[in-house]
Structure 1
Amino acid sequence: MNPSGIIFDLDGTLTDSKRGLLASLRHMHDAVGWEQPTEDVLLRWLGPPLVTVLAEEGRTPDEIDTALLAFRRRMADGGLVDSTLYPGIAQLIAELDERGTPLAVATHKIQRDAEAVVEHYALRPRFRGVHGRLDGEAGHSKAEVIARAAASIDLPHAQLVMVGDRVNDIASAHELGMPSIGVAYGYGGRDELEAAGATRVVDSVDELAALLAGERVSG
């Protein structure tokens, strides 16, 4: 696979942000007096917008507003950048950029948080655009965000590839007629990515780098 441009998801693809996200979700439950879910349940929440997850859990609009406020306070108090780049990601992004491959980020994080995380890791100059959710965008589809990222690269969707770790990334890329690479080292896992119809699935950053360089990778 040798795409003309690449769009990356953020959490679970470029950054391992599980520690900060889980801590913020647990703080949210404590703050509003809800019973703590298991870690397996919370891990399934990583990917889609939290407002969507809470609505599907049956929470009322008022409950959701209160919970989101508690979650965002904890994220602002360090949770947002309580993460690490996956080993090899910084080098991969640098090599792709230096080869002249246009890059962008598309994440379900809200726009200002997406920008803050990418700036935190000093990666912003490598990307043509960093795109998160805008006000009023919710639901599982990420197509609007990915479409904005594609516009910042300014190439046809079929010439790009979406790289992500959850069904939202893969299904939304298909919605736009864009090939996709599922990264099974993230939070969704190989079964979820294959079921979503990822064009290719890789198990490591090394495999991702080889695939994007046009090398043959099994899986």
Structure 2
Amino acid sequence: MKQVVLFDLDGTLTDSSKGIMASITYMLKELGLEIPADDVLRSFIGPPLSLSLGNLYGMDKEAAQKATLIYRDYYAEQGIHELEVYPGIAETLADLSKDYTLGLATSKPAPYAEQIIGNLGFADYFTGVFGADMDGRREGKATIIKDALTHLTDDLSQVVMVGDREFDIKGAKENGIASIGVLYGFGDLEELQSAGADRIVENAGDIPAAVRELL
């Protein structure tokens, strides 16, 4: 059985800030809520949308689910296409896929993640795409990583998670696997260090060497 590398999507493979922030702005306008500054909007990228809505607007689960449906009205039509692949990602995936089993573990709903990976021409690199479900029953990075591990391997010593936010690193730790934090995404050095990343890299091109150091 090959060793496994799990990748986050937003902030790790793609800069999806434009589409996500536009979708959030649309949602907040439709709900008549105040539009926060861009740095606050960017904080929505990574964690489950319901978590951010609860923290910033005090929404309960039912209200957050209704807001999420409005968000998806825009995202499914426009936001999903408003992204860019980070430099070096295509080469990194091509390199690692030769020797490792690659999986995608994202807090984004799995159908959206599958569509994005397909649109980018990356589908052949990944053995599995694991994400939240559309009704919110399965969300949170630790839960999604656990789902990926269930399908891909039973040897936790042979798995590493690559992501840009504390949620990726903490989710890896909760599942007993190693982690690599990337600095080009939406997190920063302090966040990744505090979360306990085993390795931290500056560029996508540095990921393969970090993977080979850990596995």
| Matched-pair contact (CA < 8 Å) for 1:32–1:66 | no
Alpha-carbon distance between aligned partners in 1 of 2:159 and 2:61, rounded to the nearest angstrom: 37
Q: Secondary structure of the residue that 1:187 maps to in structure 2?
A: coil
Cα displacement string for residues 5-57 of structure 1 (whole angstroms, at most 9, x for unaligned residues): 20000000011101100111111111111110011111112111101211223
Segments of 5+ residues of structure 2 without an aligned counterpart are none
AA in 1 matched with 2:7: F
Q: CA deviation at 1:213?
A: 4.4
Q: What does 1:166-181 correspond to in 2, within 5 Å?
A: 166-181=165-180
Q: CA deviation at 1:122?
A: 1.4
Q: CA deviation at 1:91?
A: 1.2
Q: What does 1:52-67 correspond to in 2, within 5 Å?
A: 52-57=51-56, 58-61=58-61, 63-67=63-67
Cα displacement string for residues 107-151 of structure 1 (whole angstroms, at most 9, x for unaligned residues): 00011111111111111111110000134124xx41221122223
Q: CA deviation at 1:210?
A: 2.9
Segments of 5+ residues of structure 1 without an aligned counterpart are none
Alpha-carbon distance between aligned partners in 2 of 1:195 and 1:81, rounded to the nearest angstrom: 33
Alpha-carbon distance between aligned partners in 2 of 1:79 and 1:159, rounded to the nearest angstrom: 35
AA in 1 matched with 2:116: V
Normalised by the size of structure 1, how large is the TM-score?
0.90
Percent identity, please: 38
Which residue is equivalent to 1:78? 78
Alpha-carbon distance between aligned partners in 1 of 2:99 and 2:181, rounded to the nearest angstrom: 23
Q: What does 1:28-39 correspond to in 2, within 5 Å?
A: 28-39=27-38
Q: What does 1:81-96 correspond to in 2, within 5 Å?
A: 81-96=81-96
Q: What does 1:5-154 correspond to in 2, within 5 Å?
A: 5-57=4-56, 58-61=58-61, 63-97=63-97, 99-134=98-133, 135=135, 136-138=137-139, 141-154=140-153
| Matched-pair contact (CA < 8 Å) for 1:106–1:131 | yes
How many residues are treated as equivalent by the alignment?
210
Measured on the aligned residues, the alpha-carbon RMSD in Å equals 1.8
Q: CA deviation at 1:81?
A: 2.2
Q: What does 1:163-202 correspond to in 2, within 5 Å?
A: 163-202=162-201
Normalised by the size of structure 2, how large is the TM-score?
0.91
Structure 1 window deviating more from structure 2 (145-154 vs 68-77): it is 145-154
Question: Cα distance 1:178–1:28, how it changes in 2: closer, same or farther (>3 A)?
Answer: same
